[in-house]
Amino acid sequence: MLFMPLLAAQDNSLPPINRLVLDALNAMPRDGRYSTSPAANRALSAAISESGDRLLVHPEHVVPSYCSGATYLLFLKALSDLQNTGRLKLTPETISALRPAGQPDGTGIWGRWNANGPGTARLFHELGLGPNFSPLEAARPGDFLKIFWNDGIGVSEHGHSVIFLSHDPKAETITFWSSNMPGGYGTKTVPLSRIHRLLFSRLEHPENLNIPLLPRTDPYLSSLEHRSSSPGEMARQCGLDSAR
């Protein structure tokens, strides 16, 4: 059974990788329960492996799950699909670096993605994977999105890592996919009135993952385990023209 919101993937005006991200949702598990337990981390790590120069991703094994793990799993599935169709080459070193293995916030690729604050957006900016932006009117289905439920950025935040699917301006809602509390994988629609800040990231240049210039640890993201950031600082760290 196809994921119903993926009708948007047939929209020829969508950026090509956005369509691929939406198509990859069909390989994701359904439900499975939300949990940030060690079992969820073990399942995520075990689902990612390598065979020479091939990235192997087995999403069906990743239950239970949590939001950043779900979006990272989809990110890796999209990379694997690009690789399998000959549109992306990944070095063995890059594939090894992509595997989540308990890296702390700000360390490595997974540690950046999973960090407090703008983890995904900071990674995209560091490697030039694609643009980061805040205006909702610029969003397209298949964009990666960090939702901030409060004004905090970093240690004081309450946030959610998701895949943007749609915006209903009449109802003033957005719909997204992620691992959501309490049920796990699936879509959810929420009123914009609940959201304090949006930070979108659009994957455009996955080939830049092969650039071996990423410092082991990003001091900005690692510091957000213990402090809060300002909107202006976040904007500078993520290459935004301005903060919302």
Residue of 114, 102, 109 whose CA lies nearest to 70: 114
Report pLDDT digits (tens) over 31-60. Answer: 999 999 999 999 999 999 988 889 999 999
The arithmetic mean of pLDDT across residues 107-124, rounded, is: 97
Higher pLDDT: 8 or 162? It is: 162
Residue 1's pLDDT is 31
The arithmetic mean of pLDDT across residues 5-27, rounded, is: 81
| Strand arrangement, sheet containing 144-148 | 31-32, 184-191, 173-180, 159-168, 144-148, 197-201, 132-133
The arithmetic mean of pLDDT across residues 197-218, rounded, is: 92
- pTM for this predicted structure: 0.94
Residue ranges in 47-91 assigned as alpha helix (H): 67-84
Contact yes or no for 111/104 (Cβ under 8 A): yes
Q: 20 pLDDT exceeds 80?
A: yes
The arithmetic mean of pLDDT across residues 186-196, rounded, is: 98
The whole-angstrom separation of Cα 193 and Cα 140 is 20
Q: 3 pLDDT exceeds 60?
A: no
Residue 2's pLDDT is 38
